[in-house]
Chains A and B, each alone.
Chain A
Amino acid sequence: MKRRNFVRALAVTPAAGSLLAQRPAPAVDEPPKIEISVADAVAESTPRFLNKAQFDALEKLGDLLLPAINGAPGSREVEAPQFLDFLIGRSDAARQMAYTAGLDGLNAQAHRQFNKPFADLDNSKAATLLGSLHQTWTYEEPSDPVARFLRVAKADLRTATLNSREYGAGKRFTGSGLYWYPLD
């Protein structure tokens, strides 16, 4: 018997009706609440926009700008560079250029001064290339592309880290808000 016909048969059979009546009926016929996860909890994103040298430099930069401190995960632990790789890949040309020129510039400076890519420098040597972040903030952006990039990266790595699922998991303050769905 097809399901549709079976249901129809139940509806007209008193005995079947009695059987159903004996079962404890749910109080309200509500749809089930099913918990779902987010992609970041189960998978890693694949770097697609930055080349390997650029990505490695960004990861190293994250270690310096936002290291794990006092039990809070840092940029590397929450995979902030992977997220930024995705975000920058979706962004306009100016933002993409800021990242690629900045990261290429960092690598070029590292090679020039230490004969190594930025990612391979120890922290004290890498820090010597981040001097512009110790300068007083000005409204005008720095003219040097590396300094300009470092300013952007400082903000972006921080946001990507603090807004991550892993950062929030420790009951630390993370980005949250009242989300608006598209208007009907």
Chain B
Amino acid sequence: MATIDYDVLIIGSGASGGMAANTLTRSGVKCLMLDAGPLVDFNRQRQQKQAYELPYHGFGEPGKLPHVVQANEFNAHQWVDEKEVPYTHDPSTPYNWVRVRMIGGKSLFWARMSFRLSDYEFKAKDHDGFGENWPIDHATLAPFYSRVEPIFRVSGRREGLKQLPDGEFEEDTTPWSESMSRFIVQAKKRDIPVTKMRRALGRGQFASSYNLLIPDAVQTGNLTIVANAVVRNLTVDRNTGLVDGVNFVDRHSKREMHAKARVVVVAASCLESTRILLNSKIANSSGALGHYLHDQTYITQGVVAIDKSRNGNQGGGSGGYVPRFVNLKKGNEEDFIRGYAFDFNLAGTPDPKYIPAYGAELEKALNDYRGRAASVTIMGEVLPRYENCVTIDNNLVDAYGIPVLHFQCKYTDNEAKMLKHAMTTFEELCRESNFETLAKHDQPWPPGYSIHELGTCRMGDDPKKSVLNKWNQSHDIKNLFVVDGSSFVTGGYQNPTMTILSLSMRASEYIVDQMKARAI
């Protein structure tokens, strides 16, 4: 069968690939989308079960998915099997690479926390001198955020905070609980803002490219999707130096295939995109490809505290969000740079492990503490450093014969000092709000835990320091675009999905313009 020449070939169907497909096809561009995983029939694929019906009663199969803390025996099959697609790292510096391969990608499972980056991130170097600025600012991306947010139906409350720009929200008018009101009073004394969570409501059970972006693209008649297509590498026309397609492996048969296109958009998620480019041996004249790997450093249950009051959870919502509040003013810096956020709840029930009791005494305490426990997830900015990187491990291939990634990544003193500050601050806020500490710690999960890997194909104005220009376009190959989180210069403390979607929309509209102008 003759190969079809598509206008644009998109690798990946998650947030960034879905947005590229949506934007391009609605402009009349013929697209081919390849995804490494299947199209899932969710009604057939999933079933409500009791833990005792599972072989390991909910404990999970020992040794399966050792790097995926989020995995359990119920959802183990939704994650990429580490034996099928392995990766390597030094045992002393673990990296938790959490992956999904199915149409919709990780957008099927994200936490839906929906934030904009501010100019504290876009122009971070101007603020504290570290690293590089983005080649764009918030004003540049704001119109795209404003179009993405309604698609995903982001709920939130407009606060006018410079460090967390407002968006086009479905206004959250729910009241605060009594304990939250108490907490907010104490936070205000320290000039610490507390907001409602900004969260994508989506439609039905999903807030995913699977239901919000891809169906419209399919409706245009301009999108062809091929599932179970594991991309090995991009191919280059020797005469022009441009990319002209991709080699891929059929997931089931292992058959090697080649697909052609005029433009290639890589949207396979940060590290898979980087792996494809590294295995293609292209787009790296800067030497930056694979470097500056960063994410957000996470502590879960950083502080667990019990409300001394017994009516704290009355009156409204007990969950809140504290955006970055440190290092915003020059001359008032901490002993670390950048900042962190709190995602917290004041009306939970503590994990029994934190209660120093057992037997009947433990059960009594659990009943007593039910609905009165504060807990916090601390999310801190990680500095993008050249030495934190991925390279190709030529000694190991995956189940498809594709060389795997080797990780070299670790957090540094800046992150450690930041997390200690965060834990101490939250504990103090709890104490001042009439909570008693049950447990606390300042130890983060290994890098990768947040599933917010970023930065390994970063954008910039200088081709010697960056892989992509400000349009997510390769400096080296003008018909190659990378539109996922790998294009970030800094990640801030904010969950990145809204920014990824906005960048992909913006880059895709640029592609349309460039194709119309016959520039690519």
Contact = CB atoms under 8 A, between A and B. Distances in A.
Contact of A175 (B50, B61, B63, B357): B50
A63 to B, nearest CB: 9
Contacts of B441: 138-139
Interface string B70-84: 001011111000000
B53 A183 contact: no
Interface string A164-183: 11001000001111111111
B62 A174 contact: no
Interface in A141-183: 151, 154-156, 158-160, 163-165, 168, 174-183
Given A154-B353, A182-B77, A69 B52 contact: no
A137 B54 CA distance: 31
A67 interface: yes
A66 interface: yes
Interface size class of A (residues with CB under 8 A): 35 or more
A151 to B, nearest CB: 7
Interface string B54-69: 1011110111000000
A110 to B, nearest CB: 17
A130 B74 contact: no
B38 interface: yes
Interface in A114-133: 130, 133
Interface stretch (A1-9, A20-28, A50-58, A87-95): A87-95
A163 B511 CA distance: 53
Contacts of B78: 180, 183
Contacts of A134: 356-357
A88 B348 CA distance: 31
A12 interface: no
A78 to B, nearest CB: 9
Contacts of B77: 180-183
Interface in B220-244: none
Interface in A79-109: 83, 87, 90-92, 95
Contact of B358 (A130, A176, A183): A130
Contacts of A137: 353-354, 356, 438-439
B299 to A, nearest CB: 10
A35 interface: no
Contacts of B44: 181
B57 A65 contact: no
Contacts of A181: 44-47, 77
Contacts of A156: 59
Contact of A180 (B37, B53, B76, B353): B76
A180 B45 contact: yes
B175 interface: no
Contacts of A154: 352-353, 358
Contacts of B47: 178-179, 181
Given A69-B363, A87-B56, A179 B48 contact: yes
Nearest to A95: B62
B188 interface: no
B352 A155 contact: yes
Contacts of A184: 38, 45
Nearest to B75: A180
A34 B296 CA distance: 49
Contacts of A158: 352
B151 interface: no
B51 A163 contact: yes
A18 interface: no
A40 to B, nearest CB: 6
- For the complex of A and B, list the 9 residue pairs with the smallest distance between their C-beta atoms, beginning with the closest: A175-B51, A139-B441, A163-B51, A177-B74, A179-B49, A165-B52, A91-B62, A180-B77, A175-B58
7 contacts: A38-B53, A136-B356, A168-B50, A177-B49, A178-B47, A179-B46, A182-B77
Interface of B: 37-38, 40, 44-54, 56-59, 61-63, 72, 74-78, 101-102, 352-354, 356-360, 363, 438-439, 441, 443
